[in-house]
Amino acid sequence: MATMNFSVPEDVKQAFNAAFEGQNKSAVLTQMLRSAIAQAQQQRLREAAATSILGMRSTAPVRSASQLATARRAGRP
């Protein structure tokens, strides 16, 4: 297993120790890191999707409000 060394403010360390007293701190930190990594990956995917959608909008045909309303009505039973 790898080791990570980093510094945190003393108040954060104390709050962490109090919040997770009696628990395996390495396991708690590992789960927090995994969660943060997953969130960062999801954020990157959301940003890529938004960029893709916005890119498609620039080449999409422009339709008037009446054309859209007609298309909506035609698509309904």
Q: Is 9 exposed, middle or buried (0-12, 13-18, 19+ CB in 10 A)?
A: exposed
Task: Express each pLDDT in 13-35 by its tens digit.
Answer: 999 999 999 999 999 999 999 99
User: Does residue 77 have a pLDDT over 80?
Assistant: no
- Residue 39 near residue 31 (C-beta atoms within 8 A): no
Task: Express each pLDDT in 31-76 by its tens digit.
Answer: 999 999 999 999 999 999 999 999 998 898 999 999 999 999 998 7
Work out how many domains the chain is built from and give that number.
1
Residue-number span of the structural domain to which 47 is assigned: 32-56
Instruction: Let me know if residue 24 belongs to a domain.
Output: no
Q: Measured between alpha carbons, how far is 77 from 74 in angstroms, rounded to an integer?
A: 8
Instruction: Let me know if residue 11 belongs to a domain.
Output: no
Give backbone dihedrals phi and psi of 14, rounded to 5 degrees, phi first: -65, -40
Instruction: Let me know if residue 61 belongs to a domain.
Output: no
